[in-house]
Amino acid sequence: MTLGQPREHHETIGSTNERARELAEEGAAHGTLVTAGEQTAGRGRQGRGWVTPPNVAIAASLVLRSYDDLLPLRAGLAVADVAGPAARVKWPNDVWIEGRKVAGILAEARGQDWAVLGIGVNVALDPASLPPEVAEIAGTLGRDPEQVEPTLVELLSTLEQRLTEGRDATLAALRDRDALLGQHVRWQDGEGTGAGIDQTGALLVNLPDGSTTALSAGEVTLSN
C-alpha cells in the first residue's frame, strides 16, 4: 500500500474531498492524494465548513479502495501520532491538544467501492487569524509554515501503518488517547460520562441512572 501517489495539488480549491470524490468515481487508484495550499469550501461533519488559510495547514483527501469501519478513528490516531504525546482523539473524528481542535477528519464512502478520507491539520496556523467563534476552539501544532509539507509526508507514512495494523492494536492506542474518557459529554439524545471505546469503535458513556450506552455515530460535545 502506498499513500500519496499519484498526487494532485492545487494552490487554491473549494474542497479537496469533492475533487477526490470525482477522481474516485473516475476510477482513481488506491492512495491517490488531493492536496491544496488553500481550501475555501471544505466540509466537516454535520455540514460544517472547514476553511484552510493559505499555506499554514494540511488540506488533504485520499482515495482509498481498502478500508474498514474504523477508518475515521485510525486516521485521527495517525494525526495524533504525528502531533505528539499531548494530542488526544476526540471521538469520532477530531484531534485535540489541551482542549483545542488541531485537526478534523471526514470519511465518505460508497459501499465497499471506495472511500474518500479528508484530513485537515492546523500545522502552522495562528488561531488569532480566524473569526472569533472559531479562534476560541482552534488549536495548532505550532510549527513553521515550511513544516507543512514534511508534516504531510510524516502523516502519510504513519497513516499507512495505522490503516494496516490489527484492529486490537488500533483500539488499544485509541483508548490511550481518548479525549472523552472521564469527561462529561452531551449528544442529541442525552448526556453522561465518557467511559472508553468498545471493540466496535463505539463510544461508551455511563448514564446518570448507572447504565452504560454505546454511541456508534453522531455529534458528541464536552459539557462543562
Q: What is d(CA 175, CA 136) in angstroms, rounded to the nearest whole number?
A: 27
Q: Residue 74: which pLDDT band, with cuts at 50, 70 and 90?
A: very high
Query: Which residue intervals of the chain bear CATH 2.30.30.100?
Result: 184-222
Say yes or no to pLDDT of 50 above 90: no
Say yes or no to pLDDT of 156 above 60: yes
Query: Which residue intervals of the chain bear CATH 3.30.930.10?
Result: 7-176
Q: What is d(CA 105, CA 70) in angstroms, rounded to the nearest whole number?
A: 12
What is the reported pLDDT for 111? 84
User: Average pLDDT over the chain, rounded to whole?
Assistant: 92
Q: Residue 215: which pLDDT band, with cuts at 50, 70 and 90?
A: very high
pLDDT tens by residue, 157-179: 999 999 999 999 999 999 999 99
Say yes or no to pLDDT of 46 above 50: no
CATH class of 184-222: mainly beta
What is the reported pLDDT for 191? 96
Domain 7-176: which topology?
BirA Bifunctional Protein; domain 2 (3.30.930)
